[in-house]
Amino acid sequence: MRSASRGGRIARGALVGLVAGGAGLAVGELVAVATGEASAPVTAAGNWAISITPTWLEQFAIRNFGSNDKTVLLIGVYVTLALAAAVDGVLARTRLTLASILTAVVGVVGAIAAVTRPAADTSWLLPSLLAGLAAALVLPWLTILSLKESEPSAEPSERRRFVLGTLGTAAGALVAGYGGDAWIKRRYDVSAARAKVVLPTPAKVLPRPPASVRPNVRGLRPFFTPTSQFYRVDTALTLPRVDPRDWKLKIHGMVDRPFEITFDELLSYRFEEHDMTLVCVSNPVAGPYLGNARWLGTPLAPLLRRAGVHRRADMILSTSTDGMTIGSPVEAVLDGRQAILAVAMNGEALPIKHGFPCRMLIPGLYGYVSATKWVTDLNLTTFAASDAYWTPRGYSPQAPVKTSSRIDVPASGATVPAGTVVLAGTAWATHRGIAAVEVQIDNGAWREATLAAADTPDTWRQWSYRWANASKGSHKVKVRATDGTGAVQTSAVQGVVPNGATGYHTITVQVS
Ligand SMILES: Nc1nc2c(c(=O)[nH]1)N[C@H]1C(S)=C(S)[C@@H](COP(=O)(O)O)O[C@H]1N2
Ligand SMILES: [Mo]
């Protein structure tokens, strides 16, 4: 028999490396059935990667991949691991001990990545450690089988052993990996618990806003964003699954009377419905990262009063089960606005991805400083003493929503027939409200648009404008809003970092 060619040896080494790595990941997944989804090696590594992602890369990802950014990241983690495993497998043919040690080291690094996640406990070390150990055992075993099989004097039985060993391990890894994943999904599933939640009856039932909150213009978005279309922005690679029976909210820090409440206690409080538009700081001019919903929540202010917040405490540092930290001004909760702990959105218990069973909402502030999903801890502290997650990453500690406006109809670049062209869109300056919207055509005078009825100052306001005698050709249309305090939206162009993009949305329209 011929000995394997150089290419054949590399291919066998890479294959053995991949199978060993896959076996390791499968073992990690099975261990994570006990220790929790986010402790699984790939998830932990991905969450660690998110935590060290520089702000420019985070911005690039959100711009280019939007809500698919997490899939892109996971693919990145898998590709990196696969390359490393393949190279290690080739190395193993000449430096077996070294390659096996390197495999174990990758496991140790994964374990450190896992245990340093803010929500981790020491058990999170186990999946990656055992994954590394399994891979470091499979690698030498298959490598030795493969070296024997590649020798010129190899017996058919040695070939068979290599083929069966490799295929058998690969098949076992696939079954264990996918099985473990499915088992995790089932074990930690909270959709049944969510379906069982009986929503509290609001003390104040809000009437539906009048139909006139939305101009009757074809193609304009609905006033309330359907929950299925509501944007999602968070750092959670796997969704936190919080069983309401285990949920507790702790209020502590600079308070006289720290306390803890269960979900049932929370539901026994006074609940109110409130219409509010949630805006992400990462929303570029005219971007999609905002949505409007009817929320059901209990006011946060009475809970703070019950705790007795110290006069010097100016920040609520809220933490979610996945370790996100968000810093909000105490003043914004106590100044009379409807800051709430929400349990429902658009008439349904909060969807898991929007924070089930409970999230915080403060009108007028960007989500990253107010809208903690899966919230379980409110620590009263000071902006001077505490940094929330996004602060060291370049975002402002405090961030009211900036006055913004958007043209939704027609779409930029669209061709419309000459004559009267109907323009329509949305404007928001949450909590300050919108007092006026103006449009400008081809650097002409700013002309007042027709505002739809206002719902609350905390919601966006839709608008329309009849552009009479639009002449043939290409035109530029701009929009700007004035908020409830009389301040006109700034034309200064600024990016998302550090506290929200500004500038006017401008579109081109072809009139034919
Ligand atoms: N636990 C947690 N809460 C979070 C975040 C997060 O990453 N983790 N992101 C915040 C940001 S930046 C925004 S804009 C809103 C988005 O809420 P949504 O996904 O329900 O639209 O949630 C906020 N709450
Ligand atoms: Mo955000």
Same domain for 326 and 230? yes
Query: Does the residue 411 lie in any domain?
Result: yes
Q: How far apart are CA 32 and CA 42, in angstroms?
A: 11
Query: Does the residue 198 lie in any domain?
Result: no
Q: Is 344 helix (H, G, I), strand (E, B) or coil?
A: strand
Q: How far apart are CA 153 and CA 200, in angstroms?
A: 77
CATH classification at residue 330: 3.90.420.10
Mean pLDDT of the chain: 96
For ligand 1, atom 13, which residue shows the shortest CA distance?
A: 367
| Residue appearing with tokens 């060290």 | 52
Cα-to-centroid distance, 372 and ligand 2 (Å): 10
pLDDT digit string, tens, across residues 236-289: 999 999 999 999 999 999 999 999 999 999 999 999 999 999 999 999 999 999
Same domain for 416 and 362? no
Same domain for 78 and 12? yes
Contact yes or no for 451/464 (Cβ under 8 A): no
Query: Does the residue 171 lie in any domain?
Result: yes
Same domain for 244 and 275? yes
- Kindly identify the ligand whose nearest atom is closest to the C-alpha of 351: 1
Q: How far apart are CA 392 and CA 51, in angstroms?
A: 11
Query: Does the residue 25 lie in any domain?
Result: yes
Task: Give kind and range of the element (H or E) at residue 272.
Answer: strand 272-279
Of the candidates 109, 127, 118, the one whose C-alpha atom is nearest the C-alpha of residue 235 is 118
Query: Does the residue 193 lie in any domain?
Result: no
Domain count across the chain: 3
Return the structure tokens found at 139. 């690698």
**Residue range(s) defining the domain that contains residue 281:** 211-393
DSSP string computed for 63-115? HHHGGGHHHHHHHHHHHHHHHHHHHHHHHHTT-HHHHHHHHHHHHHHHHHHHH
Query: Does the residue 450 lie in any domain?
Result: yes
Contacts of 212 (CB under 8 A, 6+ apart): 452, 453
Instruction: Please give the share of the chain, as a percent, with pLDDT higher than 70.
Output: 99
Taking CA atoms, 36 is separated from 122, 159, 408, 492, in Å, by 12, 40, 43, 47
pTM of the model: 0.95
Same domain for 368 and 257? yes
Return the structure tokens found at 484. 């409830």
Query: Does the residue 494 lie in any domain?
Result: yes
As for ligand 1, residues whose beta carbon falls within 6 Å of it are 230-236, 278, 280, 320, 322, 324, 354, 367-368, 371-374
- Kindly identify the ligand whose nearest atom is closest to the C-alpha of 235: 1
Cα-to-centroid distance, 305 and ligand 2 (Å): 28
Atom number in ligand 1 closest to CA 233? 19
- Residue 89 sits at the vertex; the CA angle it makes with 84 and 93, to the nearest 5 degrees, is 145
Atom number in ligand 1 closest to CA 280? 14
pLDDT digit string, tens, across residues 3-35: 578 899 999 999 999 999 999 999 999 999 999
DSSP string computed for 127-150? HHHHHHHHHHHHHHHHHHHHHHHH
48-52, 68-72, 170-174, 269-273: least confidently modelled range: 68-72
Q: How far apart are CA 157 and CA 145, in angstroms?
A: 11
Mean pLDDT within 290-311: 98
Of the candidates 283, 248, 221, the one whose C-alpha atom is nearest the C-alpha of residue 59 is 283
Inform me whether the pLDDT recorded for 165 exceeds 90.
yes
Inform me whether the pLDDT recorded for 1 exceeds 50.
no
Return the structure tokens found at 126. 């186990």
Cβ burial of 403 (10 Å; 0-12, 13-18, 19+) is buried
Same domain for 158 and 218? no
Handedness of CA 120, 121, 127, 129 (dihedral sign): positive
Task: Choose which residue among 59, 276, 373 to substitute to test ligand 1 binding: the one with the highest number of ligand atoms within 8 A of its C-beta.
Answer: 373
Cα-to-centroid distance, 206 and ligand 2 (Å): 27
Same domain for 66 and 41? yes
Atom number in ligand 1 closest to CA 320? 1
Same domain for 135 and 223? no
Cβ burial of 446 (10 Å; 0-12, 13-18, 19+) is middle
Of the candidates 375, 410, 368, 370, the one whose C-alpha atom is nearest the C-alpha of residue 391 is 368
The pLDDT score that the predictor gives to residue 65 is 85
The pLDDT score that the predictor gives to residue 68 is 84
Q: How far apart are CA 411 and CA 408, in angstroms?
A: 6
CATH classification at residue 464: 2.60.40.650
Same domain for 106 and 231? no
Domain boundary among 340, 369, 393: 393
Domain boundary among 371, 393, 415: 393
Contact yes or no for 139/89 (Cβ under 8 A): yes
pLDDT category, 69, cuts 50, 70, 90? confident
Inform me whether the pLDDT recorded for 353 exceeds 80.
yes
Atom number in ligand 1 closest to CA 240? 1
The pLDDT score that the predictor gives to residue 59 is 87
Mean pLDDT within 439-452: 97
Same domain for 371 and 348? yes
Cα-to-centroid distance, 217 and ligand 2 (Å): 29
Same domain for 260 and 114? no
Atom number in ligand 1 closest to CA 390? 12
Of the candidates 411, 512, 506, 423, the one whose C-alpha atom is nearest the C-alpha of residue 463 is 423
Query: Does the residue 351 lie in any domain?
Result: yes
The pLDDT score that the predictor gives to residue 391 is 97
Same domain for 289 and 432? no
Return the structure tokens found at 128. 């990656």
Domain boundary among 350, 365, 393: 393
Q: How far apart are CA 209 and CA 273, in angstroms?
A: 12
For ligand 1, atom 21, which residue shows the shortest CA distance?
A: 232
Q: How far apart are CA 490 and CA 481, in angstroms?
A: 9
The pLDDT score that the predictor gives to residue 67 is 75
Cα-to-centroid distance, 282 and ligand 2 (Å): 6
For ligand 1, atom 10, which residue shows the shortest CA distance?
A: 368
The pLDDT score that the predictor gives to residue 446 is 98
Give exposure, 287-309, as e/b (b: 16+ Cβ within 10 Å).
bebbbbbbbbbbbbbebbeebeb
Q: How far apart are CA 286 and CA 407, in angstroms?
A: 8
Contact yes or no for 282/342 (Cβ under 8 A): no
The pLDDT score that the predictor gives to residue 3 is 59
